[in-house]
Structure 1
Amino acid sequence: MTTLFHQLPVQPPLPYTIYYDSLSAIKMTENPVQHERTKHIEVDYRFTRDQVLDGKLKVQHISTTLQLADPFTKALPVHTFIDLISKLNLKSIHA
Structure 2
Amino acid sequence: MSRPSPAGARSQRAHLAHLDHSIIALIRQRTEICLELAALRRAEGGPAIELARENEVLRRYHDALGPSGTSVALLLTELGRRAEGAVRAVE
TM-score range, shorter chain: under 0.3
Which is greater in Rg?
Answer: 2
TM-score under structure 1 length normalisation: 0.25
TM-score under structure 2 length normalisation: 0.26
Which structure would you say has the larger RCO, counting Cα contacts within 8 Å and 6 or more residues apart? 1
* Greater fraction of residues in strand: 1
* Greater fraction of residues in helix: 2
